[in-house]
Amino acid sequence: MSVEYIKQALNTVKHPVSSSLSLPPACYHDEEWWRHETVCLFGNGWFCIGRADQWQAPGDFEAINVANIPVVIIMGKDHKLRAMSNTCLHRSSQIMSGSGNCRAMVCPFHGWSYDATGQLIAAPRMETAECFSENEHQLKPFNVALQDGFVFLSLQDNPEPLHQWLGDFSDLHRAWSFNDLATSRRRSFEVGCNWKLFIEVFNEYYHLPHVHPDSINGLYPEPDSADDVIGQYTSQFGRTSGNAALLEIAQQQGRSLPVIKSLDETQRTGMRYTWVYPNMTFAASSDCLWMYHVYPLSGASTRVVQTVCFPADTAKLNDFNAKSAEYYKRFDLAIDEDIPALEKQQTGMQSPYAVQGRFSALEPSVGNFACWYSEATRK
C-alpha cells in the first residue's frame, strides 16, 4: 500500500475524537509506511529514552536503535549526559552494545576508540594514512534534554526547546514530584505487535473487562474525560478502587507502600495515565510511577522498556523489597494478559478486510494520539 494512499486515509482522523475514524490498519503493519512514520516521528521533535537515574556515574552508557539508527547515550566525566551516533568512523561497525559502564567506547571490529564526548582517541595502525588526524574525527552528536527526571532525545540538529514540546506537562504532574522518584526496576522485552498498539492498550479502559476480568478490571471504575492540555501529550485521571498499582489480595494483606506526600486528597484516590508522544507512557499512582517507552523494530514488532519508580524515601524502607515485589507482580500480570490480545490484534490488523474503526468514550487518549499522529505523518 503506498504512502500517499495512507496519507489520504489519514484525512479522516481528526478532532473531535467523537466523530473521528481510527488510524488506517496499514499504519500498524505496512513496512513502507513504518519507514515513513519513523522518519516523521523519531527523526523530528523529541522522544523519551528513560529516566535520568539510569546514568549516574561517568562511563554509564546504553546503546539503542531508533528508526534503524544506532545511538549511544553516555555519561561523561563532567557528569553531562550526551548522545551520539553509534557507528564507527572507520568501517561503520556498531561500536557499543547493550548497557553498562566503560572507560572508553571501543569498536569491536578494528579497535578505534572514542571518549564520552565522541572524540576519537585511538586508531590503531593508521600511522601510514596520509593527512590523518584523530582530532578531526568526532561521532555525530545528538540533542539530549532532561525534564522532570525523564530523558529525551532528538535527532534533529536544531529541535525546539524540550519545555516547549512538553508544554504544561510539568504543571499538570507537579504533585507527583517526579524529580524525587528513584528507579527500583527496569526490564526490557519484545512484543509481536506494532508499537502504537502496545501504548494504546495502556491508555484505554475499554478492554479491561474483556482482557483482565479476574485480575485488574475491578480496580478501575469509569475514569474522568481526557484533560485539555498544551503540549505533545495526552493525559487522563480516574479514581480507583483502592490502590490500583496492587492486586486486590495484596491490598487486603496490607502490602501498600506510603503515599506520595505532595499529592492532594483527590490524587491519592486515583491514577493518572499519560502518553508523551510519540513513544512513552506511564501511570502515576498514589505511591509510585510505572512507565513504558518503546522502540519500533518493524511494522509488527516492538522493543518495550518497563521502568518502575518510587519516592527515594520509600525505597529506603526495610520492607521495601518485599512490598515492591507485589507491585511488580501486578504490573507483569497485566502485561502478560495484554500481550496475547495485542498479538491477536496485530494479526487482525494485517487482514485485507480490516477497516478504520471508531473511538469509544473509554478511549479518548488513544483518539487524541491518533489525531496528533495523523497530522505529524501527513507532512
For residue 47, give the nearest of 180, 156, 129, 132 by alpha carbon.
156
Q: In what order do the strands lie in the sheet with 280-284?
A: 181-191, 301-311, 289-298, 280-284, 270-276, 233-239
**Tell me: the pLDDT tens digits for 42-93?**
999 999 999 999 999 999 999 999 988 999 999 999 999 999 999 999 999 9
**Tell me: the pLDDT tens digits for 137-196?**
999 999 999 999 999 999 999 999 999 999 999 999 999 999 999 999 999 999 999 999
Please report, for residues 116, 246, 315, the alpha-carbon distance to residue 251 in angstroms, rounded to integers and kept in the order given.
Answer: 46, 6, 19
Who's near 168: CB < 8 A, 6+ residues apart? 229, 230, 231
Rounded CA separation 181/143 (Å): 24
Q: Could you tell me which CATH number the domain at 47-159 has? A: 2.102.10.10
For residue 222, give the nearest of 119, 90, 362 by alpha carbon.
362
* 135 or 97, higher pLDDT: 97
pLDDT band with cut points at 50, 70 and 90 for residue 135: confident
* Cell triple for 106: 571501543
Half-sphere exposure of 188 (CA within 13 A, CB side): 13
Homologous superfamily in CATH for domain 3-42+169-377: Naphthalene 1,2-dioxygenase Alpha Subunit; Chain A, domain 1 (3.90.380.10)
pLDDT band with cut points at 50, 70 and 90 for residue 1: low
pLDDT band with cut points at 50, 70 and 90 for residue 238: very high
Burial label for 131, CB within 10 Å (0-12, 13-18, 19+), is exposed
- Match 494478559 to its residue by C-alpha cell: 337
Question: Measured in Å, how far apart are the chain's first and last C-alpha atoms?
Answer: 18
Q: Where are the domains of the chain?
A: 3-42+169-377, 47-159
Q: Is the dihedral of CA 327, 329, 333, 335 positive or negative?
A: positive
Backbone φ and ψ for 346, nearest 5 degrees, come out as -60, -40
- Match 549511544 to its residue by C-alpha cell: 72
